[in-house]
Structure 1
Amino acid sequence: SMNGVVDERMSFKAGQNLTVKGVPSIDSTNFAINVGNSAEDLALHINPRFDAHGDQQAVVVNSFQGGNWGTEQREGGFPFKQGEDFKIQITFNSEEFRIILPDGSEIHFPNNRYMHFEGEARIYSIEIK
């Protein structure tokens, strides 16, 4: 069940630093942060999974375009705890997104959709499930 959905429709420009703060519920299975123009056009999907989709304690990053997911990218660390505050920072340029996790570790993900942004990325949704 979804305990909270935030859809701020914020936008930010290349070089700016976006900070996302939240708290996964104590029984959260996973949560997602989506950056893109719409639900059908996500340049960046960050999905920390406590126990979901066959993964345990994994951060999965992907993109979604034209009804199709791209290639999942998985990272080693998992600096999230159910019921505890987190802070994620996101910056991007024409080449890539840089995601800074709560423990300071970084994920780099290709910016394949740059032209769709016309210089800005939109925070489409932040979901905590």
Structure 2
Amino acid sequence: MDWKLELVIVPVSDVDRAKKFYTEQLGFAEDVDHRAGDSFRVVQLTPPGSACSITIGTGLTTSAPGSYQGLHLVVNDIEAARAELVERGVEVSEPFHFGAQGKQDGVSPNRGDYETFMSLEDPDGNNWQIQEVGRTPKK
């Protein structure tokens, strides 16, 4: 039996501001924007190429806006991804690296899968880690 993660609710304080950030700056596709009165709104957004979406909205969660830390997105070229984000006006860290022993070295010339990251925050402070995977050919 397959168990697939398809949706993560991300707590935000201003749905329209967050929607603009995720669609215009991160390039997520808007799948749904549904309101049922003033106290309930669901906005489903999907990163390019992802089978899992996020939902932001009103009346969805009791988690505090900005409380999610370490959500992961995976890319196969972190430098190209960073250039795209910077061009869209996203404040994103420089790539940083963890060697095979799990120690951060910051300058690893050999970017192995699962070792190179960069980070960013949405307008509420929810933290995203972008991880490079798929750069190293599988043996």
Place the TM-score, normalised by the shorter chain, in its bin: under 0.3
- Which one has a bigger Cα radius of gyration? 2
Could you say which structure has the higher helix fraction? 2
Q: Which has the higher contact order (CA 8 A, sep 6+)?
A: 1
Taking structure 1 as the reference length, the TM-score comes to 0.28
From the two aligned structures, give the one with the greater strand fraction.
1
